[in-house]
Amino acid sequence: MATSPIIINPSLLPPTISHTSRASHSSSMNTSNHYSSLQSAMKSLEQYSLEGKRAEDHQAFFNSIISTCITNKAFREANHLRAHMARIGYEPGLFLDNQFINLYAKCGQIEVAREVFDNMPERNVVSWNALLSGYCSNGYYLDALKLFCYMIETGQGPNDPTLLSVLRASAGSRNAEHGRQIHSYILKMGLFSCITLSNALIGMYSKFCRTRDAELVFDSMAEKDEVSWNSIIAAKAQNGVRGMGAMDMFVEMLKGGLPPDDYTFGSLLASVGLIGVEEIHAQITKRGLGGNVIVGSALLDAYARCSNPQDACQVFKMMQERNTVAWNSVISACLMNGMEHEGLKLYMQMAEWGVLPDEYTMSILLRAAAASQWSVITGKQLHGLAVRMGLHMDTLIGNSLITMYAKHEEISDSWQAFKSISESDIISWNSIVHAHLQNQQFEQALALYVQMKDSGIEPDEFSFVAALVACGELAWRNTGRGVHCNLVKIGMTPDAFVGSALIDMYSKFTATSDAKRVFDEVEDKDLITWNSMISGFAQNSYVDEVLKLLSAMRIENFEPDDFTFASTLAACANTITVEHGRQVHSLILKSEQEMDAAVANALITMYSRAGREKEAEKVFSKLTVKNVISWTAMIGAYIQCGYSEEAFQLFEQMETCGVTPNEKTFIAILTACSYTGKSKVAEKYFKLMETKYGIRPGFDHCACMVDILGRAGRLQEAEDFIESMPYKPNALVWKILLSACRIHGDLERGKRSMKKIVALDPGDSAAYVLLSNLYASFGNWDSVMEVRQLMRENGVKKEPGKSWIEVHNKAHEFVAGDCSHPQTNEIYSKLRELLRQMKAEGYIPGVEFLIW
């Protein structure tokens, strides 16, 4: 259904909206002062003479100029200063060289900083620390770790700032093993000289989602300060720890006599649900922090996350100070909870209160345009507004624009937004890669991932997950394994997030053993990790493994959710016995959860495949809310069990109830038309899809129409349909036509279809069998033998026919020509008796295909 644009009236916008003018007064004054100071410094440099001055005077003079360059991040002036010092023959010395390293690192010129470092005649710990800090500040975490190893090799001992930088590098590299090695080194060398190091270790382990290790560090501390408590509370809050959680640690902190600060409340509010927010809000009020802008903003975000924008607005009204952050938080609370007009109204009021919007305000509006029912017209209006504000080249705005356009399937606009960003960061690259993923452009997503790496930006966990998803969808096994190898090569240990993506990819490759190996390697498994492995086994029909894993996750105190149940039932649906599915159904009922539509769909499908349409009907009838998924599942169940007329009736009933059918509903209805031979009815539904419901027929719908026309003997129309369909025909479509040719005895069309199939999929044994049967129906046995010869030449083998039957909750498999069943004699005796009775009733068996 098309969405209505929310029109933003330009006359109601804040009057001074230009980003340039907004930033102009105070910041331009500061910039002017800094620039003036820099110009004065460079002018004094040209007039400076070494004659008649002491050495310490020279150092103080040059240091003042370096300090001015650092303040202005003046890279060119720094180069000019070094050149001038060389020209007048002044050696910088250890102190000034250290300052130059710091200056170049601050300017983002880390290669030049390393050059200065490498050319120093002598170094001290400050030199090493300056370069280490520079590497970390510029995101070169692995280089920082390598530099630390080199530092130790040279015999230079680290101090506390050194170790703080190295711990920061370990956290930034996302390599838990590196972090543990640094921790071991600190313990071995007895370097725990300050609380700050322990706090940094807690923060590092929190980044690795290794909350237990963070807790061990915290428990081992002889002395703890406010930062220690805040760090462990933040670690538990960020990682959703079971057991003693963030709120429990907060209580312990209070018992210890340490007063919580705004950071404490910020961490707590980021982790709790509505009840917890209300408890913390009471504590904040009790301590008189309700008017604090930082705490108030955190409260606003928490209420917004709990879908409670009304209380968020109340908090906002009580705040004594309302800065841009507070305004952004309350606007976000409204926009993300369906109160679009209230959020836009608040946005209009910002200027009235003397607060001008910033890039974060615009980013919030753009995220709302992506997440809500706003149309792309509204998003483009906001884009125009960003241009007016001078923010369209801002990285944050650009990233938000990429996402917004991708959600509206405007991928070319996403690409233009990406190209307009002045400095693309890792988030920009990830956003454009995910934009292509969302729009099913998997090859382009992988190409951008490679381009990102080639541009010198190291992938993070989001980059790797995007690449793994694309490889899984494309079934590119070698490329997927290559991405996995890259992940291992940089030392990234798969956490629950990356591990789940790896499991999903390998499952799509049918490499369940590799998926299981990754699953076993993930230390901190979450529910998504368990679900990914269960889904992987289900996709590959490993029913026993699915059921074992379901039991194991419950032992580990993970409660199955709707996705777990849906995946497990999908696996049970692929077995002949219904007993496993009934057991899972019983587990769902015991959980006392309201049945999700996806779970109901899976239950209906499972029962219908087992021929239990009455049980499927019971599930359907008990649903309090029936959405399109539920109706479609039940329609499919009737078709599966051979009740096509009931399927048509249910479809009409669904329309009467005001439920709009979707793509899968029409797949089901077209299938019913095929089974009942209603080709004219099928054509009517096929046209209605687009004319009445705005659904563009997909490839599967087209394949259904080919099958329907073919079964009805309308072979020329079926072939014309294939040639004119808006999708490139695959082997399956031509095989459908070949099957129809076999049924209706159209030899020439059948041969044409076979040529198409062999070109697209020469290993499809079913196609050879169909063509052979077509020749056999004409008594053309020489051609039958030629087909068999062609199969041998192409290495194609026909799988023997199989069937299953359930007796007393046990599945029995039968293979054509197999006599291994213990009751073979009784079975064949019964079959012969049935055949005699059939012949007596006038049935003549078809024997023309017995060559197979």
User: Can you give the pLDDT at residue 26?
Assistant: 38
Sign of the alpha-carbon torsion through 451, 457, 459, 463: negative
Q: Average pLDDT of 432-461?
A: 92
Average pLDDT (458-484) is: 93
Assess if residue 571 is contained within a domain.
Answer: no
Whether 20 maps to a domain, the answer reads no
pLDDT computed for residue 322 by the predictor: 82
**Which residue blocks in 439-561 are alpha helix, DSSP H?**
442-454, 461-474, 477-489, 496-508, 512-521, 527-539, 543-555
Is residue 383 over pLDDT 80?
yes
Give residue for tokens 């800094």: 34
- Residue 715 pLDDT grade (very low, low, confident, very high; cuts 50, 70, 90): very high
Domain assignment of residue 361, yes or no: no
Distance CA 24, CA 18 (A): 10
Between 196 and 506, name the one with better pLDDT: 506
Residue 34 confidence class, pLDDT cut points 50, 70, 90? very low
**Which of 478-482, 609-613, 658-662, 781-785 bottoms out in mean pLDDT, i.e. has the lowest?**
781-785
Give the least confident one: 45-54, 568-577, 630-639.
45-54
Residues comprising the chain, all counted: 852
What pLDDT does residue 27 have? 37
- What long-range pairs does 178-185 form, CB within 8 A, spacing at least 24? 178/145, 178/491, 179/204, 179/205, 179/208, 180/213, 183/217
Range of the domain at 835: 802-840
For position 657, what pLDDT does the model report? 92
Q: How far apart are CA 814 and CA 830, in angstroms?
A: 15
- Contact (CB, 8 A) for 104 and 131: no
Residue 801 or 288, more confident = 288
DSSP state of 423: S
Highest mean pLDDT, choosing among 25-29, 194-198, 553-557: 553-557
Token pair for 98: 């250290």
pLDDT for residue 557 is more than 50: yes
- Residues 734, 752 contacting (CB under 8 angstroms): no
Which whole number is the average pLDDT over 781-788?
79
In this structure, of 108-117, 244-253, 639-648, 727-736, the range with the lowest mean pLDDT score is: 244-253
pLDDT band at 805 (very low <50, low <70, confident <90, very high): low
150, 155, 156, 159: CA torsion to nearest 10: 100
- Indicate the residue type of 93: G
Is 831 or 119 the better-scoring residue by pLDDT?
Answer: 119
Name, in order, each residue with C-beta under 8 angstroms of 325's C-beta and a sequence gap of 6 or more. Answer: 293, 294, 297, 360
Mean predicted confidence (pLDDT) in 129-145: 92
Is the pLDDT assigned to residue 32 strictly greater than 50?
Answer: no
617, 638 in Cβ contact below 8 A?
A: no
Q: What is the pLDDT of residue 589?
A: 86
Query: Of 366-380, 408-422, 655-669, which range is least confident?
Result: 366-380
Q: Strand, coil or helix: what is 811? A: strand
In the chain, what's the furthest Cα-to-Cα distance?
Answer: 129
Any idea which of 83-87, 436-440, 825-829 has the lowest mean pLDDT? 83-87
846 residue type, one letter: G
pLDDT computed for residue 4 by the predictor: 45
Amino acid at 239: N
Global pTM value: 0.60
CA nearest to 300, candidates 282, 319, 283, 285:
319
- 131 falls within a domain: no
Report the pLDDT value the prediction gives residue 17, as an integer from 0 to 100. Answer: 40
User: What's the number of CA atoms in the CB half-sphere (13 Å) around residue 793?
Assistant: 9
CA trace torsion 337, 342, 343, 348 (10° rounding): 180
29-33, 54-58, 516-520, 530-534: range with lowest mean pLDDT: 29-33
Over residues 569-579, mean pLDDT: 81
Mean pLDDT of 786-799: 72
The pLDDT of residue 71 is above 90: no
Q: Mean pLDDT across the stretch 103-118?
A: 90
Query: What's the pLDDT at 304?
Result: 79
Adjacent-strand bridge partners of 814: 803
pLDDT of amino acid 808: 59
d(C-alpha 271, C-alpha 211), whole Å: 14
Number of domains in the chain: 1
Count of alpha carbons within 13 angstroms of residue 832, beta-carbon side: 6
3-state secondary structure of 83: helix
Residue 735 in domain: no
The per-type count for the chain, helices as H runs and strands as E runs, is 47, 2
- 796: confidence class by pLDDT, cuts 50, 70, 90: low
Instruction: pLDDT band for 811, please (50, 70, 90 cuts).
Output: low
pLDDT at 47: 55
From residue 607, alpha-carbon distances to 615, 620, 625 in Å are 6, 11, 20
State the DSSP H helix or E strand holding residue 803, giving kind and residue range, or none if neither. strand 802-807
b/e code 127-141 from CB counts within 10 Å (16+ = b): bbbbbbbbbbebbbb
Q: Which residues contact 111 (CB under 8 A, 6 or more apart)?
A: none
- Asked if residue 594 is part of any domain, the answer here is no
Could you tell me if residue 823 is inside a domain?
yes
Q: What sections of 208-308 are H helices per DSSP?
A: 211-220, 226-239, 246-255, 262-269, 274-286, 293-305
pLDDT band at 767 (very low <50, low <70, confident <90, very high): confident
Three-state secondary structure call for residue 367: helix
φ/ψ region of 307 (left if φ > 0, alpha if ψ in -120 to 50, else beta) reads left
pLDDT category of residue 626 using cuts at 50, 70 and 90 = confident
Instruction: Give the integer Cα–Cα distance in Å for 6 and 148.
Output: 55
Cβ neighbours, 10 Å, residue 35: 12
Q: Is 665 or 829 the better-scoring residue by pLDDT?
A: 665
Average pLDDT, the chain: 82
Q: How far apart are CA 54 and CA 440, in angstroms?
A: 70
Residue 813 within a domain: yes
* pLDDT value for 53: 55
pLDDT band at 65 (very low <50, low <70, confident <90, very high): confident
